[in-house]
């Protein structure tokens, strides 16, 4: 599995800590290659990471900004991306298993040990084969493709 990681200026330190944590556990992460500077813009990172996840088979992404909300909103604009903004391990687990999320957005203001747990959970959780979850994900994909009209 390929894991892409990106952060805006507010998430740089958390990104370093999470990358180090994952690499210490034998998990390789790939930074997306955009430079950080004091007034960078989170959508640039979310859009680029989203496109990489969409175009790279068997990949997921991790986005970090001040609170994760902006990254999540921007990432979810990229076709093929389902991004969960996770404040807890349960959010990460359900986002991945129930909703088939392929990108995780987290906030740099969260305790780093909790962030590590959230990331570990997201990475290790498999998507569910439960019919109701798959049907819901399929509706989202169809809507995104203009093939499903809301009720």
Q: Using one digit for the tens of pLDDT, what is the confidence trace for 90-110?
A: 999 999 999 999 999 999 999
103 lies in a domain? yes
What six digits make up the tokens of 97?
């298993």
8 lies in a domain? yes
Residue among 20, 14, 48 nearest 34 (CA): 48
Separation of CA 47 from chain center: 11
149 lies in a domain? no
Strand, helix or coil for residue 55? helix
Task: Check whether 15 has a pLDDT greater than 70.
Answer: yes
Residue with tokens 């180090």: 20
Whether 9 is a known active-site residue: answer: no
Q: Which domain holds residue 125?
A: 2-144
Task: Check whether 111 has a pLDDT greater than 90.
Answer: yes
Catalytic residue among 9, 21, 41, 98: 98
Strand, helix or coil for residue 59? strand
Residue among 91, 122, 86, 126 nearest 105 (CA): 86
Q: Would you place residue 7 in the very low, low, confident or very high pLDDT band (cuts 50, 70, 90)?
A: very high
Count of the separate structural domains present in the chain: 1
End-to-end CA distance of the chain: 37
The model's pTM: 0.95
116 lies in a domain? yes
> What is the domain-level CATH number for residue 72?
3.40.1400.10
151 lies in a domain? no
115 lies in a domain? yes
Whether 98 is a known active-site residue: answer: yes
Mean pLDDT for 50-75 is 97
């Amino acid at each position: 599995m390929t894991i892409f990681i990106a952060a805006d200026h507010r998430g740089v330190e958390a990104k370093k800590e999470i990358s180090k944590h994952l690499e210490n556990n034998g998990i390789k992460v790939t930074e997306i290659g955009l430079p950080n500077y004091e007034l960078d813009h989170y959508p640039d990172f979310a859009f680029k990471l989203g496109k990489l996840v969409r175009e790279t088979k068997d990949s997921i992404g991790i986005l970090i900004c001040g609170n994760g909300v902006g990254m999540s909103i921007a990432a979810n604009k990229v076709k093929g991306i389902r991004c969960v903004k996770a404040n807890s391990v349960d959010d990460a687990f359900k986002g991945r298993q129930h909703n088939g999320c392929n990108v995780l957005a987290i906030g740099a203001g969260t305790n780093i040990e909790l962030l590590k747990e959230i990331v570990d959970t997201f990475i290790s959780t498999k998507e569910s084969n439960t019919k109701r979850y798959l049907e819901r994900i399929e509706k989202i994909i169809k809507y995104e493709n203009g093939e499903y009209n809301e009720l």
